Structure 1
Amino acid sequence: MTFLQLLLTLRARIRVVLTIVIGTMLTALAVSLVIPKKFTAGTAMVIDVKSPDPIAGMVLPGMISPSYMATQVDIINSDRVAQRAVKLLHLADDPSFRQKWQDATEGKGELGVWLANELQKKLDVKPARESNVININFSGPEPTFVASAANAFAQAYIDVNLELKVEPARQNAAWFEGQTRLVRERLEAAQQAYSDYQQKSGIVASDERLDSETARLNELSTQLAVVQGQSSESHSKSLAAGDAGTLSEVLQNPLINSLKADISRLESKLQESNINLGKNHPQTLRSQSELASLNARLASETRKIIHSIGTAYEVSKQNESGLRDAIEKQKARLLGVSRQRDDISVLKRDVEMAQRAFEEVSLRTSQTRLESLSVLTNVIILNPAFVPTEHASPKILLNVLLSLFLGTLFGGGYALMQELANVRVRSTSDLALALKLPVLAAIPHAAAPSGRRRGRFATIFKHRSPYKPVAWKAATSSSGGARP
């Protein structure tokens, strides 16, 4: 079918088309006026995903995830948020809602759950495109209630979002509290063991005691070296005791030197007396007696010195032996102090590790405790919902325009179906198509009005066709075909 044939068909069946169009429009208008009006109130919220957490001091990685906004939309649509909105609206205390619940469920189930499900049916949550804004829209027959419900859902989402953040922090805080007690007990046990070992060993500062013991050992070693030198010298002198005159103690002794001087003087005097007085003279004899006494005294003093050298050697040997024993004891004591130092170093490291663990756990406990007490959230209400002044549906003008389009579509379709069911000749092209013969001429039904030239489409819609429509079968029933 050509476009001209379509226009001719619509012109011929214009009454049917107009009837369907007008009927559709009237039906849509009636339905739009009869159905109850619905109001829609909306609120917009901004989700801050770029600001750092006030407690952690950093941007949480989960907040910058692409699925974060979708998760927030699912949270708003959750039963938990809906039940919180029911509590904020106090719907359970409203007798009318309780009666509706009784009528719908016959008292079965929970009132809060049923009310939450009813509210969710009228809720529409949509995130804004390419932004961090979420729009919450609520629809219903009462404008005041829909505004309150939209704001209630926004506040319920903020409360639930805060709870979802705080509840894990509270669980973590409780767990960290237990861990803090454990690490505190370990720290106290380590400190007690360290203190007990210090009291038992008498070590206050292990490094200082080790240094003092080392200095004591060095001092004893020095003393042993000195005593060994003295012992060696005494031994040498005792070996040279046969020639006492060569000993430095004898040569440097003032008394021996004085006795030697007196002996030398008496010997000179005795020699003079022997020459002058004779050997038997009493003076000579007295000089001999004095000389013998001085020699005896010299020999006695020499023996004393030699004896003192031997005694000094024995004392040196005893001192050397005592110092050797003291050095061995000091070495053993130093080794004991070293072992104690190692033990106390281990205990001290245990205390330090327990202290660091306690500080780390305490810091984390304080942080989780602050998080559990937090009242901060990253959700901000951008535009609260207000009571709508105009209903959102039904939209009468839109429905009428839509019914006009649909009526025209249905009317045209119905006309085409009728035309295909009962085909008629409405133009020369239809006749040529039916007879399969060329059209030589066409006699108009009436002369065209003079004055101005009308277009082809104006002729179609303003004047009747030059041919009377005939049935398709009547035009083709004669034998051999009909000629125009």
Structure 2
Amino acid sequence: MNIKQIYAILMFRRRTVFIMLTVFFALSLAVSLLITKKYFSVATIMVNQRSVDPITGLSLPIQTMPGYMATQLDIIGSHNVARKVVKSLKLDEQDDKRAAFVKSDSKSNIVDWLADGLLKDLDIKPSRESSLIQIGFFAKDPEMAARIANAFVESYIHTSIEMRAQPAKSSADWFDAQMVSLRERMEQAQSALSNYQQQNSVVVDLVSGNEKMDIENGRLSELSKQLLESQAQTNELQARNDLIQAVRKGGNSSESLNEVLNSALIQSLKSDLAHKQASFAELSNSIDKNHPRYKQAEAEIRSLRQQIQQQTRMVLDSLASGLATSKQRDKILSQALAMQKSKVLELKQQYDEIAVLKRDVENQQKAYDAAMQRLVQNRLESEVNHTNISVLNTAIAADKPAKPKLLLNLAIGVFLGGLFGICTALCQEWLDRRVRFASDITDAIGLPVLGFVAAETNQGRASKFPANFMRPSSAAPNSVG
């Protein structure tokens, strides 16, 4: 069946199509007039996706995620927000709503039932390229539609504040519980540091402690230096003493030793002895041995020699005594150095232990301060009463109803009536087939058409060809009556 045949069928059964079109048009008109009118009010809000946290001063980059706006739409259309609308407008206290709830035989409470009903008439439309969201509501009363739309905006803002404040409040409560243990740990660390300092009499101030450590290290260095000098002196004295002993064991005179030669007293005595010996030599030539002067001079020379020997022994003995004294000094310095080393090591160990205890105190203090900062921040966030949502336009009562849309319903009725009329006409043609073209006969019986007789027109005149006009079936067919 081609378009020309369909057109011929519809023109022949145009009455059926017109009847269906009229019926559907009348039904659309009747439904549009009988259906309850509903008014639509819409409020516009803006969600600031680059808002700044008022507590920390930091931006919130997570709000730029694509899923953020979708989440906000789900929050607006949530049952929780709808319950807040019911509570804020006190819809559950209205008599007509209570009566409707009783008739519904719902097993839930009236607040949930009304909330579910509000969500059915709620219309949420986000902007594609901006942060605007339109929250609209359909209602029989235009004032009620505006009130409910604005109530949804307020409930959404309140819910957003709650969703932000509730986790902060929970975190603040958790930090409150942790602050007790953190405070106890900090006090224990401080107590351990104080007790250690008191037990070891260690200076609390690190600056003075470092100065004391420097002083003790200086003493240690000075003792080490003194010990090295004393040991060098002892070695030198030991070498001299060994030389003296070797000279004595060899039977050599000790007068050639440097210690003896460097003694001014011995040299003075030797000088006096030389003068006395010279005088005695002159005197021995002039007087007899028994002469008193001779004996006196001889006694003086003997006395000087004894003094020289005595002073030599004293010098050598003083060298040995100096060696013993130097060794004793070495021993004392060694003991003092060992004690100073022990003191420095003990002091260093104490300060190392204090440093560990101080680090423990500092770490506990840092943990306590960080927890306190987070606690204060969460407390402030839990008490915040604003959000990044701004109301751009509030809903106002509409002048004209939004439903039903008369022109749209009539257009739909005309479209459906025409479509149903065409389908009905084609069904009638299928049930009661007529021959309208020569091709219909050819398709039906499979024989060619040899000719046709022109039908008389409505004006009583003959068609273009006479009745006995014959033409091949291949010629262009004409309609037959």
Could you state the TM-score of these two structures normalised by the residue count of structure 2? 0.78
Retained in 2: the 8 A contact 1:432–1:439?
A: no
**Correspondence list, 1:257-406, <5 A:** 257-406=267-416
Is the aligned partner of 1:117 residue 2:116? yes
Retained in 2: the 8 A contact 1:50–1:64?
A: yes
Paired residue for 2:65?
A: 65
**Correspondence list, 1:206-225, <5 A:** 208-225=211-228
Which amino acid in the other structure matches residue 336 of structure 1?
E
Is the aligned partner of 1:439 residue 2:440? no
Shift of 1:66: 3.0
Q: 1:418 to 1:311 in 2, by over 3 A?
A: closer
* Cα deviation 1:196-250 (Å, max 9, x = unaligned): 3344444445655554444333322322232223333333444527444234454
Higher mean C-alpha displacement, 401-410 vs 83-92: 401-410
Paired residue for 1:151?
A: 150
Counterpart-to-counterpart distance in 1, 2:265 and 2:391: 118
Q: Quick one: percent identity of the two aligned structures?
A: 37
Q: 1:302 to 1:90 in 2, by over 3 A?
A: same
Retained in 2: the 8 A contact 1:53–1:60?
A: no
Paired residue for 1:142?
A: 141
Counterpart-to-counterpart distance in 2, 1:415 and 1:49: 59
SS at match of 1:37: coil
Shift of 1:388: 0.5
Higher mean C-alpha displacement, 133-142 vs 323-332: 323-332
SS at match of 1:120: helix
* Cα deviation 1:118-171 (Å, max 9, x = unaligned): 211211223233443322221010000111111111121122122222222222
* Cα deviation 1:71-125 (Å, max 9, x = unaligned): 222211111111111222232343443343344448x643322221221121122
* Cα deviation 1:408-461 (Å, max 9, x = unaligned): 444444455455545567789889999975313333342469xxxxxxxxxxxx
Is the aligned partner of 1:229 residue 2:229? no
Q: 1:137 to 1:448 in 2, by over 3 A?
A: farther
**Correspondence list, 1:155-194, <5 A:** 155-194=154-193
Retained in 1: the 8 A contact 2:50–2:59?
A: no
SS at match of 1:139: strand
Q: Unaligned regions of 5+ residues in structure 2, if any?
A: 463-478
Which amino acid in the other structure matches residue 173 of structure 2?
A
Paired residue for 2:27?
A: 27
Retained in 1: the 8 A contact 2:44–2:394?
A: yes
Could you state the TM-score of these two structures normalised by the residue count of structure 1? 0.78
Shift of 1:354: 3.7
Paired residue for 1:480?
A: none
SS at match of 2:133: strand
Q: 1:72 to 1:271 in 2, by over 3 A?
A: same
RMSD: 3.7
Counterpart-to-counterpart distance in 1, 2:312 and 2:15: 171
* Cα deviation 1:13-68 (Å, max 9, x = unaligned): 5555544444443333233222221111112223333455553624433x333333
Counterpart-to-counterpart distance in 1, 2:218 and 2:387: 67
Counterpart-to-counterpart distance in 1, 2:419 and 2:102: 46
SS at match of 2:27: helix
SS at match of 2:402: coil
Which amino acid in the other structure matches residue 167 of structure 1?
Q
Which amino acid in the other structure matches residue 301 of structure 1?
Q
Shift of 1:185: 3.7
Counterpart-to-counterpart distance in 1, 2:2 and 2:236: 148
Retained in 2: the 8 A contact 1:273–1:284?
A: yes
Paired residue for 1:87?
A: 87
Query: How many equivalent pairs are there?
Result: 450
